[in-house]
Structure 1
Amino acid sequence: MEVRTARTEDVDALVTIHQVARRTYYGDLEIPDDTRELRDAYTISIQATDRLVLCVDGAHGPFGFVSLGPPARLVGLYVDPAHWLRGAGGALHDAGVAAWREAGITEGQLEVWDGNDRAKAFYLRRGWQPSGDRRDGPLGRDFVVLGLKVV
């Protein structure tokens, strides 16, 4: 599975992947339409020199991506649910950690919604550990902060 740097023309696909995956793990939670905000955020991230967005392609373009931002933060890792359990998430995660390692980054951080058991298990299997920090999240479940020693 080839992981590549995302391009500006990928932004609409990234927004769709983000929204479809989020609907899957949040279930019935009503989420306002944030298409414009996501489009702006991903455009900025792709163009910024202090951030990195990597994606994997299928027959019809990207179907998963990871967004890394300063300082050593995994901002998001999303795969279209139709492609879950095929290795894309792991490939994206590993490519992101490798990019950190190349840049000399020794510790990474992310937030995961406590109600997303699938994502929590994914990160814990890859060595991420709870930091003890958290912030309020939807449906009475917090976002928990995980840290990773990049070796």
Structure 2
Amino acid sequence: MEIRRARRSDVETLIAIHQQARRTYYGDLATRDDTEELREAYTVSVDAPDRTVLCVDGDARVAGFLSMKDDQLIGLYVDPAHWQHGIGGALHDAGVDVWRAAGVTGGRLEVWDGNERAKAFYLRRGWESSGERRPGPLDRDFVYLRLRMS
């Protein structure tokens, strides 16, 4: 499994993976077309020197990616067709390695409380609730998680 920095030529695939994964865990809530918004965000993220976007190639195209800035994991998305193949774990570990190399001692992220799969993924990797929350869809909050690294 090769992990590499994302390129501008990957942006359309990043958008598609983000939208597919979101539809899987949000279901009918993910009906809004935010393609242009995501295109702008991922183009900026791929080009910005203060951000890291890593991706994994699989089956001749990107199968998953991670986006981060400073100590924040902004997003980790894997094409649902590639779930349970270790891609998410490999991306997570590569992101933690980037943080360690930069001297970051802890990470933070937010996850929708209704996304049990993602919450379990992060908790298995040592993330813990910070106790902070913000309102989210379907009367389920977004919860904040922290990862302490030594």
Task: Name the structure 1 match of 2:68.
Answer: 68
Q: Determine the structure 1 residue equivalent to 2:7.
A: 7
5 Å-filtered alignment, 1:2-151, equals 2-70=2-70, 72-151=71-150
CA contact (8 A) 2:107 2:148 kept: yes
How far apart in 1 are the matches of 2:32 and 2:93? Answer: 32
Structure-2 separation of matches of 1:130 and 1:49? 29
Deviation per CA, 1:69-100, whole angstroms, max 9, x where unpaired?
13x10000000000000000000000000000
Relative to structure 1, the CA distance from residue 111 to residue 60 in structure 2 (aligned partners, 3 Å threshold; closer, same or farther) is: same
| TM-score of the two chains, using structure 1 as the length reference | 0.97
Asked if the contact 2:52/2:68 (under 8 Å) is kept, the reply is yes
Distance 1:41 1:12 in 2: 11
Pairwise CA RMSD of aligned residues? Answer: 0.8
CA shift, 1:30, in A, is 4.5
- Give the counterpart letter for 2:38 in structure 1: L
What 5-or-longer segments of structure 1 have no aligned partner?
none
Output the amino acid matched with 2:116: D
TM-score (norm 2): 0.98
Per-residue CA distance 1:100-150 (angstroms, 9 max, x = gap): 000000010000000000000000000000000010101110000000012
Give me the identity figure in percent: 66
Query: Structure 2 regions of 5+ residues with no counterpart?
Result: none
**Does the 8 Å CA contact 2:22/2:30 hold for their aligned counterparts?**
no
For each residue in 1:47-85, what CA deviation from the matched residue of structure 2 results, as whole angstroms up to 9, or x when unmatched? 111100000001231010000013x10000000000000
CA distance in 2, matches of 1:21, 1:48: 24
Displaced runs of 4 or more, over 4 A: none
Question: Number of matched residues?
Answer: 150
